[in-house]
Amino acid sequence: MDKNIKNEIALLKYSVIVPLINDTYDEGGSKQDFFRAAASHEYPWIDGTKRSFSPATIERWYYSYKKNGFAALYPEDRSDQGESRKLDDELKQVIANYVTSFPRMSATAIHSRLIAEGFICKSDVSDTTVRRYVKTIRSATSVTVVRDMRRYERSHINEVWCGDSSVSIYIRENGVKRRVYVIALIDDASRMIVGINAFFSDNYENLLSVMKSAVSRHGVPKVWNFDNGSNYKNHQIELLSARIGSCINYCKPYTPTAKAKIERWFRTMKDQWSAEVTPSDFKSLEDVRSSLFKYVNLYNNSVHSSLDGTSPHDRFFSEPECIRWLNPDDIDTLFLLEDTRRVTADSVIKLNNAEYETDSRFSGSKVTVRYSPDMSCVFVEDTDGTLIPVRLLNKKENAVAKRQEHIFGGADNG
């Protein structure tokens, strides 16, 4: 199965169980209550259909994630792929369970579920066969679909971080007039700016760098609250969120209250910091950053009117038990971007208009590439998950390099 498809399936599974993982499940009750409630919803699948899952399936996903992390949600390749299977008693029982648990699920959806869950391969059992058997056991019942509504405001720190970007001042750097963009993250409970930086581009790579800095300094939030802009509704951001055990809430269009705190803070920043500086104050982007960081430190340590005489900094660090730290040794790896590439016959991959040479054993295969946003580190992921560093292609050096031959088969005559 293609790695991109595996990622999509794993992210969809993660979206089902994430309220229980980061304690954003609002209904209370036990884990079993959550599994039953989650099973009553329908979820978008990679083929564009809506699917629901049994409580047992959702429970298995949850405990697999708790034991082995996000990678445990990847679908496994079948060991008997391509072999013929009959509609045996086991499959009949599985189909009967689907019909009983999900009376409104179509036979075609059940057939797709059997494939997705690994019970059959597409060529093993036809849709017609499943439809014929479902028809013999179908019983009509009504199903009430509960609308999934989740709050985004919490009473404790690191429950919700809201992120946004704002256009800022113009500066001249090396004689060129350039617009500055500010990307910031605010903790909903404490109003503390947990991450901020200034850039010449408003893109997801720069957003990731702000997120990485914030997580390193202040722990992992349970929920990231973003709008639906392309910088935020991005596959790389969703993968990162799943890796570190948080989830993303995308604000619905035309809901200004969804990210009111960060927008209000940007207005404050413009009324205070932006109004007090002039382009001539800065010779470079680093000068802008230095001034901006001083302003943010002053804001974070000043008494906030909505915090009962407390500063955002003091409010945030009054709840150290709510800070979930990542292992510092893992942060760089967790924040690597991910993509797939086909390795050429001469062991080269192309990434962001640059060529990198890989180990010759990857020649001709499709590989997962992990890389830092600034392209300073590029790796190929081995089959066991090990990251193997690769380097820029050097044709001149390769011209005098000793060739290494890989011999397949043959006997040792010595």
CB-based contacts of 347: which residues, under 8 Å, 6+ apart?
357, 358, 359, 360, 362, 363
User: What letter represents residue 74's amino acid?
Assistant: Y
Domain check: are 95 and 184 in the same one? no
- Structural domain includes residue 146: no
Stronger pLDDT, 117 or 297, i.e. the higher one? 297
Identify the pLDDT of residue 112: 82
203, 305: one domain: yes
Domain boundary among 273, 293, 322: 322
Choose the final residue of a domain: 299, 322, 345. 322
130 and 80 in one domain?
Answer: yes
In a domain, 328, yes or no: no
Amino acid at 23: D
Same domain, 185 and 309: yes
Asked, for residue 405, whether it belongs to a domain, the answer is: no
Report if residue 155 sits inside a domain.
no
User: For the chain, what percent of residues have pLDDT higher than 70?
Assistant: 86
Same domain, 387 and 248: no
Range of the domain at 368: 336-399
Query: Residues 76-92: what's their mean pLDDT?
Result: 59
Residue 145 forms part of a structural domain: no
Check whether residue 38 and residue 117 sit in a common domain. Answer: yes
- On whether both 222 and 106 belong to a single domain, the answer is no
Spatial distance between the Cα atoms of 262 and 260, rounded to a whole number of angstroms: 6
106 and 41 both lie in a single domain? yes
Q: Look at residue 330 and tell me if it is in a domain.
A: no
Amino acid 141: pLDDT: 38
Asked whether residue 315 falls in the same domain as residue 293, the answer is: yes
Tens-digit pLDDT profile for residues 92-123? 878 887 787 777 777 888 888 888 777 787 77
The 10s digit of each residue's pLDDT in 154-212 is 689 999 999 999 999 999 988 899 999 999 999 999 999 999 999 999 999 999 999 99
252-290 per-position pLDDT tens digit? 765 556 688 999 999 999 999 999 999 889 999 999 999
Can you tell me the distance from the alpha carbon of 291 to that of 282, in angstroms, rounded to the nearest whole number?
9
In this prediction, residue 147 has a pLDDT band, given cuts at 50, 70 and 90, of: very low
Q: Which residue among 265, 291, 322 closes a domain?
A: 322
Q: Flag whether 317 is in a domain.
A: yes
Q: Compute the distance between CA of residue 6 and CA of residue 73 in angstroms, rounded to an integer.
A: 9
Helix (H) or strand (E) holding 178: strand 176-187
Contact call for residues 370 and 337 (beta carbons, < 8 A): yes
For the cut 70, the answer to whether the pLDDT of residue 412 exceeds it is no
In the chain, how many domains are there? 3
The region of weakest confidence among 67-71, 327-331, 410-414 is 410-414
Residue 246 lies in a domain: yes
Count of alpha carbons within 13 Å of 308, Cβ hemisphere only?
2
Residue 119 and residue 14 share a domain: yes
Instruction: Give the C-alpha separation, 316 to 214, whole Å.
Output: 13
